[in-house]
Amino acid sequence: MDSDLDIVRLVRNGQVDAFEVLLRRHSPRVFQSVGRRVPTGDVETVAQDVFLSAFRSLDTYRGRQPFEHWLMRIALRRCCDYWRGRERNRESTGPAMDEDGPDWMELVSRDLSREEFDRGRAREDAIETVQAVLARLDPEDRALVEGIYFEDRPLRELAAALNWSLAKVKVRAHRARRKLRAMLEEKTVRKRERGDG
C-alpha cells in the first residue's frame, strides 16, 4: 500500500484521482473530530472544507509529520472558521442554557452506561446543552478547551494548529477554562438558589 507521502507526490504531479485514496483513508478520523465540534447537520460540509483546503495547500505538506496530523490541524482551523462564521451571522448562541430544561448533568453523572445514555432523549438534551455552554466561548478558546481538557491532546499540537506559541496556548487555555468554570459556577449558584427558594 502506498504511503500518504507517495500519494501526495502523485497528486502534485497532476494525478488528482489519487487524492481519493487519502480521502477514504482519513475521512473517518476527520468526521470523528469535526463531528464533536460542530452540529451534526454541518459535519459533512465542514469535513468537505477540510479536504478541499488540504488539496489546495498540498504543496505545503513536506512529509515531516504524519499526513493525519497535518490534516487534523486543518480540521481544527476549519472548525474555528465555522464558529467564527456563526458568530458573524449572530447564530452563535444556539440553544440557551435553559433554567427549567432537563438537568443534563444529572443524566450524565448518574453513571449511566454508554448504551443507556445512547438510547434515550437524554443524550440529545445533554449534547444540546454542552453545545450551548461551549458556544459562549470564543472559537479559539473553545478549540483549546475541547482539545486540551476534553480530548487530552498535546499543547504543542494545538499551538501548531492555531499557529500560536506554546506560551500563548498555555495562557489562553488557562483563561478559557476559567471562563468555562465561571459559567458552570454561575449555573450551580442559580440551581442552588432555585432549590432553596
Q: Of the two residues 91 and 118, which places its CB atom closer to other proteins in the complex?
A: 118
Which residues in the 7-66 window bind other proteins by CB under 8 A?
Answer: 11-12, 14, 16-17, 19-20, 23-24, 27-28, 31-32, 35-36, 40, 43-44, 47-48, 51-52, 55-56, 58-59
**CA-CA distances (angstroms) from residue 68 to 22, 63, 134?**
9, 11, 26
Q: Which of 68, 79, 78 is nearest to 27 (CA)?
A: 68
Q: Of the two residues 98 and 166, which places its CB atom closer to other proteins in the complex?
A: 98
Output the nine-digit C-alpha cell for 19. 487524492
Give the distance, in angstroms, between the CA of residue 61 and the centroid of all CA atoms in the same chain: 22
Residue 18 near residue 7 (C-beta atoms within 8 A): yes
Span near other proteins by CB under 8 A; candidates 83-91, 92-100, 163-171, 182-190 = 182-190
Output the nine-digit C-alpha cell for 83. 464558529
Q: Which of 178, 136, 172 is nearest to 155 (CA)?
A: 172
Torsion of CA 7, 20, 151, 91, to 10 degrees: 130
Q: Of the two residues 52 and 167, which places its CB atom closer to other proteins in the complex?
A: 52
96 sits near other proteins (criterion: CB under 8 A): no
Q: Of the two residues 90 and 100, which places its CB atom closer to other proteins in the complex?
A: 100
Residues making contact with other proteins (CB under 8 A) = 11-12, 14, 16-17, 19-20, 23-24, 27-28, 31-32, 35-36, 40, 43-44, 47-48, 51-52, 55-56, 58-59, 104-105, 108-109, 114, 117-118, 123, 126-127, 129-130, 133-134, 146, 149-151, 180-181, 184-185, 187-189
